[in-house]
């Protein structure tokens, strides 16, 4: 599989299934002419100006009518991909989209590869890589916050920031390379102090380093908004885990039962917690059991707990913290994880037991206290009040984060060497490497395999 030609491509851009509309996207050389061969009003299409809409029927191989459509015509370079192309809006439905795609194949289009439209947009200079990645971030955003961050990156805020930092490092490097032109003798004559002074823009390098570190630090939060986190509800059977799970979901999805241990399966759902997409998982009681089905669900519960980013540990407030709770809390799966202790059944337990400090008292039954939990979950995940962050742009892509880390390492090395008075020809390569890393983030420096890995994770039609 390789991207990189301008052959006419087509893909259904809308999700499969029944809907009001299905959109088929096309792009590439002669895309409009080829489409016209299967269109009831071919001349209207071939003579249409860019950014206009043409009405007509899409036709089968035998010129039978397949569907009534509106075709949005784009002309290079004013299109998403930078090529000629058209978006065909059909009536929604699996059969319609399939038939339309087939007739296009027959006319000479090939299936688009995942992310190929965006790949072409990148190749044609319509987007840098940070914006290309933000396109997928927007598509997969699960909450308003995740979406807002991605939109800022699509607007180019991150690209601008990276380019500005890179510009600083290029200036440091340029200054250093100027000094490299000094003759060997002159250089050797200079003492260590002078030589170290020969990384003339060291302050600028420090500034760039601070900015890079700030970007790197933003990854935790941005990635949290983008990818979400796993919150697992754990505790003894009958503590009220499933009831609380339902409360938090505000709908009855888990089984709530009177007999202990009856929730045989874990259930999960995505909820938005202060803008963080949280996969909330209910677990069956973790206890020793010889029952095979129960054993299985216990294993899965343990697996979930191991993967959890935060645990909501539910205690039955009518019973209090018993030895089994203590044993679970100190088990290797749970101990050391971010944990919120929840004292449940507060509606009846108020005078029966005395919860330790810092514990959330709730009633899954009446809902009392439950509204306090999202803030606690967000705090545990984000490490601080999640909605307090300022307007700074952040990094959400692991690819970008890795490159920023690498750049940081190189600048730290360069500054370290400069402080030790090392020669510039030793220092300069580190700076150059850092500059290249930043170039790789925006896509100025990139290799075919990097691009292929990146775009192949996109969905078809993007």
Ligand X SMILES: Nc1nc2c(ncn2[C@@H]2O[C@H](COP(=O)(O)OP(=O)(O)O)[C@@H](O)[C@H]2O)c(=O)[nH]1
Q: Shortest gap between Cβ of 115 and Mg ion (angstroms)? A: 41
Q: Shortest gap between Cβ of 271 and ligand X (angstroms)? A: 17
Residue 115 token pair: 């992310």
Residue 363 or 397: the one with the smaller Cβ distance to ligand X is 363
Stretch that binds Mg ion, among 85-93, 205-213, 259-267, 401-409 (CB under 5 A): 259-267
Q: Give the angle 382-383-387 at the CA atoms, nearest 5°.
A: 50
Residue 54 or 234: the one with the smaller Cβ distance to Mg ion is 234
**Rounded CA separation 437/184 (Å):** 30
Work out what residue 302 binds among ligand X, Mg ion, none; the CB cut-off runs from 5 to 8 Å by kind: none
Q: Shortest gap between Cβ of 417 and ligand X (angstroms)? A: 59
Residue 293 token pair: 């089905």
Residues within the interface to ligand X (CB under 6 A) = 235, 237-243, 256-258, 263, 285, 344-345, 347-348, 363-365
Instruction: Tell me if 301 contacts Mg ion by CB under 5 A.
Output: no
Stretch that binds Mg ion, among 60-68, 208-216, 234-242, 296-304 (CB under 5 A): 234-242
Answer yes or no: are the C-beta atoms of 9 and 116 closer than 8 Å.
Answer: yes
Among 81, 130, 246, 263, binds Mg ion (CB under 5 A): 263
Q: Which residue is nearest to ligand X (CB)?
A: 240
Stretch that binds Mg ion, among 20-28, 136-144, 239-247, 343-351 (CB under 5 A): 239-247
Residue 98 or 253: the one with the smaller Cβ distance to Mg ion is 253
Contacts of 16 (CB under 8 A, 6+ apart): 94, 97
Residue 14 or 372: the one with the smaller Cβ distance to ligand X is 372
Work out what residue 256 binds among ligand X, Mg ion, none; the CB cut-off runs from 5 to 8 Å by kind: ligand X
Residue 169 or 314: the one with the smaller Cβ distance to Mg ion is 314
**Rounded CA separation 440/446 (Å):** 5
Instruction: Tell me if 242 contacts Mg ion by CB under 5 A.
Output: yes
Answer yes or no: are the C-beta atoms of 69 and 96 closer than 8 Å.
Answer: no
Work out what residue 239 binds among ligand X, Mg ion, none; the CB cut-off runs from 5 to 8 Å by kind: ligand X
Q: Shortest gap between Cβ of 367 and ligand X (angstroms)? A: 9
Stretch that binds Mg ion, among 77-85, 214-222, 241-249, 448-456 (CB under 5 A): 241-249
Work out what residue 278 binds among ligand X, Mg ion, none; the CB cut-off runs from 5 to 8 Å by kind: none
Work out what residue 427 binds among Mg ion, ligand X, none; the CB cut-off runs from 5 to 8 Å by kind: none
Residue 148 token pair: 């807002």
Q: Shortest gap between Cβ of 404 and ligand X (angstroms)? A: 43
Instruction: Tell me if 238 contacts Mg ion by CB under 5 A.
Output: no
> What is the per-residue DSSP string for 90-152?
EESSHHHHHHHHHHHHHHT-EEPPTTHHHHHHHHTTS--HHHHHHHHHHHH--SHHHHHHHHH
Stretch that binds Mg ion, among 87-95, 97-105, 257-265, 368-376 (CB under 5 A): 257-265
**Rounded CA separation 16/109 (Å):** 20
Work out what residue 238 binds among ligand X, Mg ion, none; the CB cut-off runs from 5 to 8 Å by kind: ligand X
> What is the per-residue DSSP string for 181-205?
TS-HHHHHHS-HHHHHTTSTTHHHH
Return the closest-CA partner of residue 416 out of 436, 432, 431: 431
Answer yes or no: are the C-beta atoms of 305 and 311 closer than 8 Å.
Answer: yes
List residues bridging with 272 in a β-sheet: 277
Residue 220 or 350: the one with the smaller Cβ distance to ligand X is 350
Q: Give the angle 150-153-154 at the CA atoms, nearest 5°.
A: 85
Q: Shortest gap between Cβ of 288 and ligand X (angstroms)? A: 16
Answer yes or no: are the C-beta atoms of 46 and 73 closer than 8 Å.
Answer: no
Residue 27 or 263: the one with the smaller Cβ distance to Mg ion is 263
Q: Please compute, for residue 5, the number of CA atoms within 13 A of its CA located in the half-sphere on the CB side.
A: 11
Total residues in contact with Mg ion, by rule CB under 5 A:
3
Answer yes or no: are the C-beta atoms of 233 and 310 closer than 8 Å.
Answer: no
Q: Which residue is nearest to Mg ion (CB)?
A: 263
Residues in touch with Mg ion (CB under 5 A):
241-242, 263
């Amino acid at each position: 599989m390789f991207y990189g030609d301008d052959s006419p491509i087509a893909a259904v851009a809308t999700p499969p299934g029944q809907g009001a509309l299905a959109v088929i996207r096309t792009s590439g050389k002669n895309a409009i002419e080829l489409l016209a061969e299967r269109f009831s009003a071919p001349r209207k299409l071939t003579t249409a100006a860019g950014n206009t809409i043409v009405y007509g029927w899409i036709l089968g191989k035998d010129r039978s009518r397949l569907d009534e459509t509106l075709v949005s015509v784009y002309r290079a370079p004013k299109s998403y991909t930078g090529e000629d192309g058209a978006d065909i809006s059909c009536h929604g439905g699996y059969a319609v989209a399939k038939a339309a795609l087939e007739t296009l194949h027959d006319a000479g289009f090939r299936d688009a590869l995942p992310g190929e439209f965006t790949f072409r947009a990148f190749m044609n200079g319509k987007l840098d890589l940070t914006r290309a990645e933000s396109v997928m971030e927007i598509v997969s955003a699960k909450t308003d916050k995740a979406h807002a961050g991605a939109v800022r990156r699509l607007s180019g805020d991150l690209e601008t920031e990276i380019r500005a930092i890179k510009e600083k490092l290029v200036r440091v490097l340029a200054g250093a390379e100027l000094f490299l032109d000094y003759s060997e003798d002159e250089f050797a004559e200079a003492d260590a102090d002078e030589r170290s002074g020969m990384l003339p823009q060291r302050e600028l390098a420090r500034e760039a380093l601070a900015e890079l570190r700030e970007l790197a630090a933003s990854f935790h939060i941005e990635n949290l908004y983008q990818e979400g986190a796993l919150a697992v509800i754990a505790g003894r059977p009958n503590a009220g885990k499933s009831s609380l799970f339902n409360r938090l979901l505000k709908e009855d999805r888990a089984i709530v039962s009177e007999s202990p241990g009856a929730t045989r399966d874990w259930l999960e759902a995505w909820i938005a917690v202060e803008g963080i997409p949280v996969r909330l998982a209910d677990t069956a009681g973790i206890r020793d059991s010889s029952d095979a089905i129960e054993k299985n669900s216990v294993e899965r519960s343990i697996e979930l707990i191991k993967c959890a980013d935060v645990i909501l540990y539910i205690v039955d407030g009518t019973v209090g913290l018993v030895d089994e709770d203590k044993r679970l809390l100190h088990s290797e799966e749970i101990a050391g994880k971010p944990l919120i202790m929840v004292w449940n059944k507060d509606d009846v337990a108020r005078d029966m037991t005395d919860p330790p400090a810092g514990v959330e008292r709730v009633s899954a039954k009446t809902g009392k206290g439950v509204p306090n939990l999202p803030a606690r979950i967000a705090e545990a995940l984000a490490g601080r009040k999640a909605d307090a962050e300022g307007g700074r742009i952040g990094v959400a892509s692991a690819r970008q984060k890795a490159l920023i880390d690498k750049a940081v390492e190189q600048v730290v090395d360069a500054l370290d060497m400069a402080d030790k008075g090392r020669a510039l020809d030793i220092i300069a390569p580190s700076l150059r490497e850092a500059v290249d890393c930043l170039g790789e983030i925006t896509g100025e420096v990139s290799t075919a395999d990097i691009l292929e890995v990146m775009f192949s994770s996109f969905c078809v039609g993007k």
